[in-house]
Amino acid sequence: MKRSTIIFFLVFVGVVLVYLFKGENNKTENLPLRFVSLAWQEASISVNKSIVKEWNDAHPNLQVEYIQGTWNSAHDYLITAFETGDVPDIFHYESSVIIDYAIRGYLTDLSKYITPEMKNDILDVAWATVTRPNGEVSGIPFLIESLVVLYNKSLFEKENVIPPTREKPWTWDDLQFAASKLTKDVDGDGIIDQYGAGMGLRNSANIIMNTSISFGGSFFKKAGNHFVVEANDEEKKLLQTIFNMLYKDKSASPASTGETGAGMIPGFFSGRYAMLVGIGSWARQQLVENAPKNFRWGVMPPLKAKTQMYGASTQTLSVPKKSKRAKEAMEFINFMLSSKNTARLALNDWMIPARKSCLTMPEFQDSLSGWDIVCSAVSMLSAGSWIGVPGYVEWKSRVANPVLQELFAGRLSVENAAKRIENESNIILSRYKKYVLPTWQFDARLSLEL
């Protein structure tokens, strides 16, 4: 009798547990997938919402909830979500940050969900920004952020400055010479009111890191089983070039040191800056929508130092490891990042699409809004050596941006800034040594010849 009672009790408990588990699963399955988007331009938000609606209309049993996030708060929000387990099922971010999340074990490996069509159509350089040496993929890249130089065609013509072409790109010396020629005291009051260049250097780490590749620099080096930062001649040459434009020939506006790229756009419209150097290709949207009537502008091919190679940063969609529906989340990602939808997202965010099939579309060959120049630079994009460096996010916010800001504000020499960057960087990186083995592919300087 006692034995029968025990068996009955065990069976009863088992049935209850199965019921509860099944009920919990059903509850989870009935909830919509939560998608956090960081789209911020009005047209980009609209197309993101449209794609979600199209999915929901076609998938009544697997709905997606669109959640609007912001770039300023995304990092803190996601770290809290990872730690508490209250995660979105899909989130939008950038490759240089999700690497850090992957190293800490927060992200689902998406490699097993990627279709052959997606794998083959997305550019190799884009995959290089999200793929670990063991083949794990921490996010699906869909937009490529690139730096451009925008110029005022009317001011160029007035000063007889001939802009570069893809066949004859400018060097940085050419840029500096033209910027000096375009710097003017227009009204003769002894104060410069037209600068050859504006740069937007308030938070300049991304600009400096991506541009340093063209000078042969990288800042980050592998030393045994960990990373160190070195500011050698190649890195210092870029810093010195910008410093000279600000303080030697004064061809770059001192306002550059306290402004973002977006903050320089009104001055570009008013003729205060003849060129905007190192601004994201997304800025063209502002020009198309907000430029004064008859304002004429163009996009330059990448500036040449040792090479025209620049670092690539991609925007990505990832799935947290604590999401219980990774397979379903990837089904939505496959839909959202189809060739057709990637083209829509890229056009409305004014960034390079990560898919090869998109680059052949007529929309991305248009010369009036600079798409032809921007997209032709894909073959000059590279995955930087800092990809996979544990602690990169902290390094950028605590060392690179503050020290570079002091340098470009004229409070440090290039030599002193280089020493500070090296010393302060290596203090921070030493705390992350435990995350290094195994880590990401260090020498990931991949480019794609189209």
- CB under 8 A, 24+ apart: contacts of 121-124: 121/339, 121/355, 121/356, 121/357, 122/354, 122/355, 122/356, 123/354, 123/355, 123/356, 123/378, 123/448, 124/446, 124/448
- CB under 8 A, 24+ apart: contacts of 240-246: 240/414, 241/172, 241/176, 242/199, 242/201, 242/408, 243/407, 243/408, 243/414, 244/176, 245/176, 245/179, 245/197, 246/408, 246/410
d(CA 135, CA 137): 6
pLDDT in the model for residue 389: 85
pLDDT in the model for residue 77: 96
pLDDT in the model for residue 297: 97
pLDDT in the model for residue 442: 37
d(CA 58, CA 112): 24
**Per-domain residue ranges of the chain:** 31-145+313-369, 147-311+391-431
Options 3.40.1360.10, 3.40.630.30, 3.40.190.10, 3.40.50.720; which CATH number does 147-311+391-431 get? 3.40.190.10
CATH code for the structural domain at 31-145+313-369: 3.40.190.10
R_g of the chain, CA atoms, integer Å: 25
Q: Are 145 and 281 in contact (CB under 8 A)?
A: yes
Query: Does this chain's domain 31-145+313-369 share its CATH topology with 147-311+391-431?
Result: yes
| Residue from 280, 352, 18, 298 nearest 161 by CA | 298
pLDDT in the model for residue 132: 81
d(CA 375, CA 372): 5
**pLDDT profile of the chain (450 residues), mean per 10:** 48 44 52 96 95 98 97 94 97 91 93 97 96 89 96 97 96 98 93 96 94 95 85 97 97 93 95 97 94 96 97 95 97 98 97 97 94 96 86 92 97 98 92 59 38
Helices 205-212 & 401-408, crossing angle to 10 degrees? Answer: 90
